[in-house]
Chain A
């Protein structure tokens, strides 16, 4: 009989795993527009769950409102579609009450930085142990193309036909200045890379902030398009510079299309560990 080579086995295993990740997909077909970047994001998410071998029943995906808010419907896990801008507080309460669960919070850019922008500094400085996925398409998708907090200055949108008068926020800079202990940027067109980032964020003990560049193919034909993203996105290749805030800040300022992990502090205790220490000392 022919010897079965180890490469063959590895290959086979990879294919099985590859197919196997579909178990994390729910029975519902995504309702997003064909070509929407969000397909790539959930793909990366399924794969990250598979590789981390997370139990379905221990995953809770908490979302806000928007096209991104629908995400939990397409995941075979517990899911909670909450309110516009409020995935962070709900996910925080859930995680603090149930440390045993893997809690993901999902939000669009309007969700996370506009209406819900007030929650971000606090979950970051408290370092609550959840993984936050910011689906950043720099536009309001669900309400059909109005300016969001990350829409470029002067871009024409349905709420600003003459051009957006506001300056966009820089999510990575914000997260860094809010003292998030894990700050990364991924790209919907690179599910493999994004998967690795989601895995790292999930394993990180503390608040993980992951901005995901993704196009809204229906309402932004100008700026964050597949074409522009493909041309501009590149790997930052920052070998994770532990606690190097300076490098991270510089990259956040100068490299709007660079993807990778900007910053991670693995020594900082997360919220519940801090509480336990303080209450034990009390």
Chain B
């Protein structure tokens, strides 16, 4: 069987159906059994005719990163597409409109900018759309038709997919889209002399069970509902808003309550209030909101009240770059706030692990009575993947509070210093369980107590919980090592882990001796495992999407060795190609 590994970009301006064409393409390919990953970029402005790019990777094999360069660029708009040529491979394929309604000046036509190694196919997109439906709206479908014809994609299955997509629309909408597609298909079959080698003919990937086409924001919302979230409070902020919007529809149906608060301080305050009441509660935000929540993170830790904060990172600092991806809140997530304030930080490494991370976050927060920060980023929140339908959480993960028994209630110490640091927690409404919680240093009974012996004892108790939490850490992702030691070990975290993993796989194919390591749990960090791994690496490379190497500094402190850093703040997701290049240079 032949392998397919293809990146297709559709570039147009907002309102030209660019994004919906990308969506139809990826849904169709997913239905055909391919792995897909897509990541669109929009103009920052809500209105206007800014540049849009629908970026889709299609593969017969697992996909770990979106791919930096495109194999195919479909131009729905010459002006915007000229700059997009910079990410088309030097032997890539350009599909463009060769009969635009108004002829372009020479330097404004995208094909004029294509470099000699590229293959350009001119298709009369506009003209064919008009022929199919009387207007240019169907250009995007004409282009998909051309793509299908060029690459020998099953025409009937594709039109079925288009029909599905518009199933809820009027028949005329369905027909004009399908007709546009067919116009593009037939015209291309008849008129284009194919010179590239891409073909889906006789490629039949294994369709493996039901797939879910989703993104990180949708998955955390789904996971939270499955894990019996009962309260959400939040304040809108890109890229986390969608989580609130999904839950505002779904949570009431599940008997829960959603509160839109006046600011993020109130949001996390309300979450902690609900947590105090024994309910599963969370909020989601991005950097600026996370900064405001900081004062409450200390209270959650100190008063030992469960709370979950999702921070979907944008470009920072301050208001930063709301619609670009970055991993620059590592330090804030681990260290923001005052005092000795341990907290759990989970950073899912790909779309599907967002589900597991969310379930784990709510579970750990409840069982260990602590703050859990779940770090997403703009890329994880928004990029779309087709994943296996996740397993629902177990009962153990859903009901995790350790309540005091009758004996313990006789002389109830809410903050009892126990072996694992977890003190049985009474929920308001429990007779005989009354206690007082405070952010002041307190005794086992919860009463303010500032003696040095007590402060040390209780600080140790709070830290002790974190030793046990490590056992709850989702499995580490460590690639196999063929030999006792490797030349390069790539250590990564969060959404960069996919690209790191992919880079290492390619490097090994190229004959390099390399391995990769990542952990979804970044606080507490599995230090022993990291040391065991890096002890076997001659050199260590840490790629991440921030300028100062926040994680690299953290990891170097653990392994007490210098590390090579690779940092980008371009606003684009980590690319396997860039890591690979760095590895070759090392």
Report A's interface with B, CB cutoff 8 A: 26, 28, 55-58, 60, 62, 72-73, 76-83, 86, 88-98, 100-101, 118-119, 121-122, 272, 275, 279, 282
Residues A101 and B428 in contact, CB atoms below 8 Å apart: yes
B257 touches A90 (CB 8 A): no
Asked if B114 CB lies within 8 Å of chain A CBs, one says: no
Q: List 8 A-B contacts (CB under 8 A).
A: A56-B431, A81-B436, A82-B269, A86-B265, A94-B274, A94-B428, A97-B230, A101-B429
Number of A-B residue pairs having CB atoms within 8 Å of each other in the complex: 136
CB of B439 within 8 A of CB of A81, answer yes
By a CB distance below 8 angstroms, the chain A residues around B436 are 26, 72-73, 78-81
Is B322 positioned at the interface, with any CB of A under 8 Å from its CB? Answer: no
Contacts of B439 in A (CB 8 A): 81-83
B276 near A122 with CB under 8 A, answer no
Q: In the assembled complex, how far is the CB of residue A58 from the closest CB belonging to chain B, in whole angstroms?
A: 6
Q: Is the CB of A92 within 8 A of B270?
A: yes
Within B289-310, which residues are at the interface with A (CB < 8 Å)? Answer: 295-296, 299, 303
In the complex the two chains form, is B437's CB within 8 Å of A79's CB? Answer: yes
Separation in Å of the B57 CB from the closest CB of chain A? 38
Query: Are B269 and A78 in contact (CB-based, < 8 A)?
Result: no
Nearest CB of chain A from residue B248's CB, rounded to whole Å: 10
**Contact yes or no, B447 A80, CB < 8 A:** no
> In the complex the two chains form, is A82's CB within 8 Å of B299's CB?
yes
Q: Are A81 and B434 within 8 A (Cβ)? A: no
Taking A79-B437, A81-B438 as known contacts, 13 extra A-B pairs with beta carbons closer than 8 A to each other, sorted by chain A number, are A58-B428, A76-B434, A78-B435, A79-B434, A90-B269, A90-B270, A91-B273, A92-B259, A92-B269, A96-B270, A97-B230, A97-B281, A272-B257
Question: Shortest CB–CB separation between residue A64 and chain B, in angstroms?
Answer: 10
Q: Are B296 and A86 in contact (CB under 8 A)?
A: yes
Say yes or no: is B277 at the interface (Cβ < 8 Å to chain A).
yes
CB neighbours of B438 from chain A (8 A) = 80-81
CB < 8 Å neighbour of B269 from A60, A86, A98, A272: A86
Query: From residue A142, how far is it (CB to closest CB) to chain B in Å?
Result: 12
What A residues does B447 contact at CB under 8 A?
28, 73
Inter-chain contacts of B262 with A (CB < 8 A): 118-119, 121-122
Assess the A93–B434 pair: CB atoms within 8 A. no
**Given that A76-B434, A82-B439 are contacting pairs, would A100 and B429 also be in contact in the complex, using a CB cutoff of 8 Å?**
yes
The closest CB in chain B to the CB of A280 belongs to B252
Chain B: CB-nearest residue to A63: B438
- The verdict on B272 contacting chain A, using a C-beta distance below 8 Å, is yes
Contact A98:B278 (CB < 8 A) given known A56-B434, A78-B428: yes
Contact A60 B428, CB 8 Å, known A82-B269, A93-B273, A98-B277: yes
Give B268's nearest chain A residue, CB to CB: A89
Fill in one digit per residue for B217-234: 1 if any A CB lies within 8 Å of its CB, else 0.
000000000000011010
Contact A90 to B272, CB < 8 A, known contacts A78-B434, A80-B437, A96-B231: yes
Give the interface of B toward A (CB within 8 A).
Answer: 230-231, 233, 252-253, 257, 259, 261-263, 265-267, 269-279, 281, 295-296, 299, 303, 428-440, 447-448
Taking CB atoms, residues of chain B closer than 8 Å to A57 are 428-434
Closest Cβ of chain A to B285, distance in Å, is 15
B295/A89 in contact, CB under 8 A: no
Task: Give every chain B residue within 8 A of A60 (Cβ-Cβ).
Answer: 276-277, 428
Of listed A72, A79, A80, residue having the most chain B CB within 10 A = A80
Inter-subunit contact A93/B270 (CB<8 Å): yes
Known: A90-B272, A93-B231, A93-B271. A98 touches B279 (CB 8 A): yes
**Contact status B296-A83, CB under 8 Å:** yes
B residues less than 8 Å from A90 (CB atoms) = 269-270, 272-273, 276
B273 contacts A62, CB within 8 Å? yes
Chain A residue contacts of B278, Cβ below 8 A: 97-98
A55 to B, closest residue via Cβ: B431
Residues of chain B with a CB closer than 8 A to A77's CB: 434
What separation, in Å, do the CA atoms of A247 and B572 have in the docked complex? 61
**Contact between B276 and A80, CB atoms less than 8 A apart:** yes
In contact, B429 and A81 (Cβ under 8 angstroms):
no
Report how far A72 CA is from B434 CA in the complex, Å.
Answer: 11
Q: Smallest CB–CB gap between A87 and chain B, Å?
A: 9
B440 touches A96 (CB 8 A): no
Pairs A-B, 4 closest by C-beta atoms: A93-B270, A93-B273, A89-B269, A97-B274
Kindly list chain A residues whose C-beta atoms are within 8 Å of the C-beta of B429.
Answer: 57-58, 98, 100-101
Residues of chain B within 8 A (CB-CB) of A121 are 262
Inter-chain contacts of A26 with B (CB < 8 A):
436
Contacts of A272 in B (CB 8 A): 257
CA distance A60 to B277 in the complex (A): 9
Contact B437 A81 (CB under 8 A): yes
How far apart are the CA atoms of A91 and B269 in the complex, in Å? 8
Set of chain A residues within 8 Å of B275, measured between Cβ atoms: 93
Q: Interface centre among A56, A76, A93, A121, by most B CB within 10 Å? A: A93
Measured between alpha carbons, how far is A158 from B565 in the docked complex, in Å? Answer: 53
Q: Are B437 and A94 in contact (CB under 8 A)?
A: no
Q: What residues of A have a CB within 8 angstroms of the CB of B428 in the complex?
A: 57-58, 60, 78, 94, 98, 101
Bound CA–CA A82/B270 (angstroms): 11
> A79 to chain B: which residues have CB within 8 Å?
434-437
Most chain B CB within a 10 A radius of its CB, from A56, A62, A79, A97: A97
Smallest CB separation, B281 vs chain A (Å):
7
Output the least CB separation between A48 and chain B (Å): 18
Q: How far is the CA of A82 from the CA of B273 in the complex (A)?
A: 9
B265's contact among A56, A62, A72, A89, by CB below 8 Å, is which? A89
A116 vs chain B, min Cβ distance (A): 9
Does the CB pair A97–B434 fall under 8 Å?
A: no
Q: B258: nearest residue on chain A (CB-CB)?
A: A275
Q: How far is the CA of A118 from the CA of B292 in the complex (A)?
A: 14
Pick the contact of B257: A81, A97, A282 (CB < 8 A): A97
Taken together as a complex, chains A and B put the C-alpha atoms of A95 and B231 apart, in Å, by 11
For the complex formed, measure the closest distance between the CB of A52 and the CB atoms of chain B, giving whole angstroms: 17
Q: How far is the CA of A199 from the CA of B450 in the complex (A)?
A: 36
Chain A residues near B440 (CB-CB < 8 A): 81
| Interchain CB contact under 8 A, A93 and B269 | yes
> What's the least CB distance linking B296 to chain A, in Å?
7
Check A93/B233 contact, CB under 8 A, given A101-B428, A101-B429. Answer: yes
Pick from A73, A93, A279, A282: contact of B274, CB below 8 A. Answer: A93
Report A-chain residues with C-beta under 8 Å of the C-beta of B277: 60, 93-94, 97-98, 101
A72 to B447, CA, bound (A): 11
- How far, in Å, is A178 (CB) from chain B's closest CB? 12
Q: Which residue of A lies closest to B430 (CB)?
A: A57
The answer to whether residues A275 and B434 also contact, given A93-B231, A119-B266 and a CB cut-off of 8 A, is: no
Report which residue of A91, A92, A121 has the largest number of chain B beta carbons within 10 angstroms of its beta carbon. A92
Given that A57-B430, A86-B269 are known contacts, is A93 also in contact with B281, CB under 8 Å in the complex?
yes
Q: In the complex, which residues of chain B have a beta carbon less than 8 angstroms from the beta carbon of A119?
A: 262, 266
Closest residue on chain A to residue B231 by CB atoms: A97
Nearest CB of chain A from residue B162's CB, rounded to whole Å: 31
Q: Which residues in B have their C-beta under 8 angstroms from that of A82?
A: 269, 272, 299, 303, 439
In chain B, what residue has the closest Cβ to A89? Answer: B269
Q: Which residue of A lies closest to B426 (CB)?
A: A78
In the complex, what residue of chain B is closest to A101 when comparing beta carbons?
B428
Assess whether B437 is in contact with A275, with CB atoms less than 8 Å apart.
no
Residues of chain B contacted by A93 (CB below 8 angstroms) = 231, 233, 259, 269-275, 277, 281
Give chain A residues whose Cβ lies under 8 Å from the Cβ of B272: 82, 90, 93
Q: Is the CB of B252 within 8 A of A279?
A: yes
Q: Judging by beta carbons under 8 Å apart, are B303 and A80 in contact?
A: yes
- Nearest chain A residue, comparing its CB with the CB of B273: A93
A96 and B434 in contact (CB under 8 A), knowing A73-B447, A86-B269, A90-B273?
A: no
